[in-house]
Amino acid sequence: MSTVGRRAPAGAVRETKERLAELVATASDGEVSAAEALAAELPLSALGVTSLAQMRLIDAIEREFGVDVDFSDESLAALEDLDLLAAHITGRAR
């Protein structure tokens, strides 16, 4: 996932996470609500986010945030965790 060297403040990470939760709800056709995605302590796939929903989520992330989601192990792992995904998108990944 390319973040093109930008770093956002911590508040932006929280806002990004909240938007990602909304995108998860849309991508999963409501099978996983935004509230469930935000509160999740399990991987999103354990909540019911299917591989089809992940592909929809990737498309939505690329459109909304202008980042490229590659298919490396790191990027795919980020699709399971909104905190990690928000950090990657905002350039705050460790």
Q: What percent of the chain has pLDDT over 70?
A: 85
> What is the structure's pLDDT at 78?
83
Q: Tell me: the pLDDT tens digits for 56-87? A: 999 999 999 988 887 776 777 888 999 989 98
Q: How far apart are CA 84 and CA 30, in angstroms?
A: 22
pTM: 0.82
Longest dimension (CA), the chain: 34
- Which residues make Cβ contacts (< 8 Å) with residue 23, sequence separation at least 6? 57, 60, 61, 64
Q: How confident is the model at residue 6 (pLDDT cuts 50, 70, 90)?
A: low
Closest CA to 17 of 85, 78, 91: 85
What values do phi and psi take at 83, rounded to 5?
Answer: -60, -50
pLDDT of residue 69: 83
Q: Which candidate, 83, 72, 78, 28, places its Cα nearest to that of 50?
A: 28
